[in-house]
Copies of this chain bind each other. A is one copy, B any other.
Amino acid sequence: MQAVSATQDPQGTPRDTSEALLVTLMRMLRLIKRAHDAPIEPALQYVLYNVNCTGPLRLSDLAAQVQLDISTVSRHVRALEVSGHLERAADPADKRAALLSVTESGRKVLHDTFARRRAVLSTALSAWPEADLNTLEHLLNRLADDLETELKPSAPKRSDS
């Protein structure tokens, strides 16, 4: 099956589209992390962002969503709570659980962070045609979804085609 267009010689020196893609991804992430200028750590941003997106939700659901261990998320949530960017409300349906939601302060942090980052990306992307940008986002999302579908059959998610 050659849909992946591998172009590696048999004796090592592996080089194929998907691999190069991966390396590019890593490089990018590193660059972005490096340019970290925000009021909160990248990992916290990530969590906060996700809480913001999917409304009040349980810690365990959040963990599933961001694909981190519950314990990890638990600590991040605590940190965000202490700094006032996130708050927990008792789940009326289950006293064990707590519903997380972003506070005003948290929203502000997110907003600022994104504004900053957007500035960076804007510059880098200013020469990009809108269409390309949308295409990239679309394809990347599809890839992520497909990958997720494959790696976690438990979460039957469908990519848009």
Contacts and interface: CB of A to CB of B under 8 A. Distances in A.
A16 B128 CA distance: 15
A127 B18 CA distance: 14
Question: Which applies to chain A's interface (DSSP): helix, strand, loop or mixed?
Answer: helix
Taken together, the copies of this chain in the complex come to 2
Contacts of A110: 12, 14
A27 to B, nearest CB: 6
Nearest to A126: B3
A52 to B, nearest CB: 6
A112 B32 CA distance: 30
Interface residues of A, number: 79
Interface of A: 1, 3-6, 8, 11-32, 34-35, 46, 49-50, 52-53, 66-68, 102, 104, 107-108, 110-111, 113-115, 117-118, 120-128, 130, 132-137, 139-144, 146-152, 161
